[in-house]
Structure 1
């Protein structure tokens, strides 16, 4: 009988991804039990393709025969190879998403880009852009929030978005509460004039906003590179990080995200009492930003996506 050879690295990838196949299972339940995996058929297909292409290249160029031999250097070299090959930035970002489990690049729009997009949108689409950029809302949330969801904040001198029952509005119908930034207050008040509590702020559909932003980017010469409307949420998250995290906390956050990027525990190498205090404060600020975005607590993978450099 012939001796059975070792499992190929391509098959190892398939077996590893099959082991975390959670398609059809509840993401909420998975978070409660502390388990993770891939819940989307599209994500599974993309990740399988990107990961297998990556290991084939590593096997060919570096002689890697098992995923246990892979390291961060292989990942960096592969991305450089894709760039030299002329692969588009948007596709490279998607490959990074598959290989690292997060979007490693800054996917936020700059303020200059946001302004150019505003100038090339209709009035209703611009409202949605403002809600996404200034309050971190998703497209679905921006087009479904109603006048009644905006209430005076605790200080009594501004507004707060408060959604108690988010069915049909927020992701998973979750509670959402975000203060309206002062620079948006006057515009928001003008949008609510002569509207009843049950009326929507934005009077166009999800697809109209999405398509409107795409057209605006083309008109303005703004390259989306895979950012889409989510780029506004990324910009919001990064601005909030600047507002909530002093420079020392930001440095600790970057260390943590680098740890997570290569598979280490978040607090790896954080040993001194001072650094531990900074770590705790940075995590608290991160959780606050996640809450405003409609995410749960302690979501380091999402922090890599929204707040990493």
Structure 2
């Protein structure tokens, strides 16, 4: 196992939470193999950070409820916590995320119980309270071509160049703002926006693309006609 959460202080509940999360922490191991065998675990630092945050917030709430032992939870605690989160008027997406991470915490608790020869504590309902189909439907925030043209005419010369790059290659705003001539390549009479994953390359992706990964955008037909 790679990175592990380390407990600090004498908070028993916090220690239990961290130990349970560490028991399902498989950062660095194959997620594909885990899915193959139907095992739900933690396989990324982002996921580890999320489950730790949700679980610690849950632990703080439990302490306020007088609960000091994670392995004495009841389904009533789970339902009351979800109701508490609803009262905070968080989004459905956030509530779904809370349920997902608490279920990972529960899996960690089962690992700990099984290792010690104890029976599992059933405190999470089999069915989720919130489902992905409960999420808010996406809103179309696009503007008309006429409105886009009106906004374009108000842009500065530099901003228009960045907008042209975005429209032509589909690059993100950050990528457009950091574009240099080295990123533009002509191949068989077509133009490509290419960022290299070589940190020493003149068109290095570091600090330009999302995550500093290699990226290649093909120019759209509209731009080709204008060149």
The answer to whether TM tops 0.5 is no
> Which structure features the higher share of helix residues?
1
Quick check: which has more Rg, 1 or 2? 2
The TM-score with structure 1 as length reference comes to 0.32
Q: Which has the higher contact order (CA 8 A, sep 6+)?
A: 1
The TM-score with structure 2 as length reference comes to 0.42
